[in-house]
Amino acid sequence: MNAIPPAAAPDSAYVRIANLTKRFGDFLAVDDVSLDIRRGEIFCLLGGSGSGKTTLLRMLAGFELPSAGTIRIDGADMSAIPPYERPVNMMFQSYALFPHMSVERNVAFGLEQEGLGRDQIRRQVGEILDIVKMGGFGARKPHQLSGGQRQRVALARALVKRPKLLLLDEPLAALDKKLREHTQFELINIQQRLGVTFIVVTHDQEEAMTLGTRLGVMNHGKIAQIGTPSDIYESPATRFVADFIGSVNMFEGRVSDDGADCLRIECGELGCTVRAERTVSCTRGATVWTAIRPEKINISRQPSAAGVQQAESAENLVRGTVREIAYMGDMSIYLVQIDSGRMMRVTLPNIMRGTERPLAREESVWLSWHGSSPVILTE
Amino acid sequence: MVAGIPTLWLLVLFLIPFIIVFRISFSEVRLAIPPYTPLLSWRHGAPLLQLHWSAYRFLFTDALYVSSYLYSLKVAAVSTLCCLAVGYPMAYAIARSDAAMRPVLLMLIVLPFWTSFLLRVYAWIGLLKNNGVINNALMYLGVIHHPLALLQTDFAVYIGIVYSYLPFMILPLYANLEKHDGTLLEAAADLGARPVRAFVRVTLPQSFAGIVAGSLLVFIPAVGEYVIPTLLGRTDQIMIGRVLSDEFFENRDWPVASAVAIVILLLLVVPIMLFQRLERRQLEAGR
């Protein structure tokens, strides 16, 4: 899903956030966050409500002062710089368009503060409105626009000053699903065209995965993991991240064999031994969690048809009964109760139109997976 | 039915009295009960309508009336501006204060209403008169050696009107400012506007409806104000409310008094209509 390759200069820390902390009374909203953001990338801060992502964004904009730590943008310390002097612009979740001003006046506002000449302002406003495809709407007032149009004006207003850094607070949250998908790609397009560094805050993992060059998953004011969308999805670092991004089947177990390149884990809850490629360091007897994504599980009527494993080895193979089937069109979700009693979630793409004998509820099935599928988590 | 009650209210308590006053203004004085000539009379078996313009004409023959109108408009305008200058920062401060403090602060604004209006104006006499609290204090401190003439001046009238009508300015302004979206100011700051500029470009234009509402609520009653200028004001220049009362009760010239009242109404209808047009525009703007 990742639409953009990593930025050209990957090691330049364009925005450097160091040991940033924000306290509201006793509440630690942002807890000692350190983070480097590269020039020209779209960095998505993903987290639930109260995870501190919005507070972090507001500190970047200058609306909140850090309790501790520093923010540097392009080498310059932002600590003592008020919001109206920062080389940063923000697109607000509510868009915050000035209701008493026309679209043109809204977009021109930022340039007027710089004291530019009237002709130059008009030219720049015209240019940016064309880029966001709002060229013909300059004279309208915000209340005469649709939600999607307002979003574009807000984007134009934030971009017209060519900030070093554009902050976007839930940029697509107010749009309906179809428009959201369309706008996502357009946003990426505009970002690449103008080369502005974006920091996007969102609670929507799909939005973050599509938009982001890299993601930072936040939880309880801390960064839980930073990585590309596929890093985060395929190799989550913690149980929180594995559970937060996408859906996952998670089982507690004990390491029974730590070979050179493969681990064996006894999972009582799963009722079989999990054999996994060695990706983490752990010792024999340690408690770990096995996380398997629903789309990485095979479902079949025969254990032999399940693929790579032998049935008698009882590794990466469990028996269960289909309890629920949700047909989603492009794929189907199966809730399978395995013999240990736990439910497992399995998704299968519906590749063929109308299978001869589709799986039915209460049918007995075998679930299996490849040794590369389980992610072993130690925390 | 529901719409009928306000209509009935306006009909009985506003429209009918207005028609009566309007009708009297076209009569002439006579010594009788009632003290004015009828408009309709019977002559040779046919109804005869007699409209007299003399009351209106009289308003322009004596300079007293024109100067009283102008003086009233001036006093009302200056008082309104003073109320705005004092009331806007107060309303702004209340709207920006802690949510838990707001009801307390609003209560303090409304608190003076719990005492009689007349009593509060009399209290100002005690403060402003030659041997009143203010003059005595200033003399005691040695700032002045002779008492300042504070009472029976324009200044005293402005003080009285601003003091009495300030809540009418603050409350609509507060209602407006309290609804403002704080993120708009953040957006302005984000786009490079310093706080003062953000206020001028964002807060002020958006509070325009509140400024108009508050100003009309002060201006309209201030034009016809009777008690404050009578108790605190000058004796050589009276306001139109006083003229009206004198015509009725001293001269017993009902037609002229009615004409005075009708002209006040016309002077006030213009701002009211302006206000309504503005309100409609605000509604159309979808706020």
At A249, which amino acid appears? N
**Which residue in B184, B192, B286 is closest to A114 by CB distance?**
B192
Q: Cite the residue boundaries of each domain of chain A with CATH code 2.40.50.140.
A: 247-377
**pLDDT tens profile A168-200:** 999 888 788 888 888 888 889 889 888 899 999
Confidence of residue A143 (pLDDT cuts 50, 70, 90): very high
Q: Where are the beta strands (DSSP E) in chain A?
A: 13-24, 27-38, 42-47, 68-73, 76-77, 88-91, 165-169, 197-202, 214-219, 222-227, 249-258, 262-267, 272-277, 287-292, 298-300, 317-327, 331-338, 343-349, 364-368, 375-377
Contact state of A90 with B187 under an 8 Å Cβ cutoff: yes
Q: Where are the beta strands (DSSP E) in A84-213?
A: 88-91, 165-169, 197-202
B180–chain A nearest CA distance, Å: 11
Contact state of A96 with B186 under an 8 Å Cβ cutoff: yes
B107–chain A nearest CA distance, Å: 30
Residue-level pLDDT at B3: 74
Residue-level pLDDT at B40: 81
d(CA A330, CA A326): 11
Q: Which residues contact A146 (CB under 8 A, 6 or more apart)?
A: none
Between the ranges A281-285, A370-374, B207-211, where is the mean pLDDT highest? B207-211
- Residue A219 near residue A47 (C-beta atoms within 8 A): yes
Taking the CA atoms of residue B99, residue B103, residue B105 and residue B107 in that order, the dihedral angle to the nearest 10 degrees is 180
- Residue A323 near residue A372 (C-beta atoms within 8 A): no
Confidence of residue A357 (pLDDT cuts 50, 70, 90): confident
Give the total residue count for chain B.
287
B173–chain A nearest CA distance, Å: 17
**Which residue in B184, B197, B285 is closest to A98 by CB distance?**
B184
pLDDT, mean of residues A53-73: 94
d(CA A282, CA A264): 11
Q: Both tokens of residue A117?
A: 């000449």
A vs B: CB pairs below 8 A: 62
**pLDDT tens profile B123-159:** 999 999 999 999 999 999 999 999 899 999 999 999 9
Taking the Cβ of residue A141 and every Cβ of chain B, the question of whether any pair is shorter than 8 Å is answered with yes
Architecture of domain A13-243: 3-Layer(aba) Sandwich (3.40)
A270–chain B nearest CA distance, Å: 51
Residue ranges of domains in chain B, CATH in brackets: 1-52 (no CATH), 62-284 (1.10.3720.10)
Query: Which chain A residue's Cα is nearest to B196?
Result: A84
**pLDDT tens profile B207-218:** 998 998 999 999
B270–chain A nearest CA distance, Å: 25
Taking the Cβ of residue A90 and every Cβ of chain B, the question of whether any pair is shorter than 8 Å is answered with yes
CB-CB neighbors (< 8 A) of A94 in chain B: 181, 183
**pLDDT tens profile B232-261:** 999 899 999 999 999 999 988 999 999 999
Give the full edge-to-edge strand order of the sheet including A68-73: A27-38, A13-24, A68-73, A76-77
Q: Which residues contact A183 (CB under 8 A, 6 or more apart)?
A: A148, A151, A171, A172, A175
Which of 237-296 (A) contact B at CB < 8 A? none
How many other CB atoms sit within 10 Å of the CB of residue A95?
A: 23
CB-CB neighbors (< 8 A) of B205 in chain A: 100
d(CA A143, CA A43): 31
Q: What is the DSSP letter of A6?
A: P
d(CA B109, CA B104): 9
**pLDDT tens profile B88-97:** 999 999 999 9
**pLDDT tens profile A228-258:** 999 999 999 999 999 998 899 999 988 888 7
Residue-level pLDDT at A278: 73
CB-CB neighbors (< 8 A) of A82 in chain B: 189
- Residue A289 near residue A250 (C-beta atoms within 8 A): yes
Whether pLDDT at B287 is above 90: no
Instruction: Pick left, alpha or beta for residue B218 (phi over 0 → left; psi -120 to 50 → alpha; otherwise beta).
Output: alpha
Q: What is the DSSP letter of B103?
A: H
Q: Cα-flanking dihedrals φ and ψ of residue A224, to 5°? A: -80, -35
Taking the Cβ of residue A303 and every Cβ of chain B, the question of whether any pair is shorter than 8 Å is answered with no
Could you please state the CATH topology (level 3) that the domain comprising A247-377 is classified under.
OB fold (Dihydrolipoamide Acetyltransferase, E2P) (2.40.50)
Q: What is the predicted ipTM?
A: 0.81
Query: Which chain A residue's Cα is nearest to B184?
Result: A96
Residue-level pLDDT at B169: 97
Contact state of B184 with A157 under an 8 Å Cβ cutoff: no
d(CA A259, CA A278): 8
Query: Which chain B residue's Cα is nearest to A157?
Result: B191
CB-CB neighbors (< 8 A) of A92 in chain B: 183, 186-187
Distance from the first to the final alpha carbon of chain B: 29
Query: Pick from A298, A305, A370: which is nearest to A334 by CA?
Result: A298
Task: Name the residue with higher pLDDT: B40 or A346.
Answer: A346
| Percent with pLDDT over 90 in chain B | 68
What's the sign of the alpha-carbon dihedral B35, B40, B44, B45? Answer: negative
**pLDDT tens profile A298-336:** 888 887 655 544 544 568 888 899 999 998 888 899 999
Confidence of residue A63 (pLDDT cuts 50, 70, 90): very high
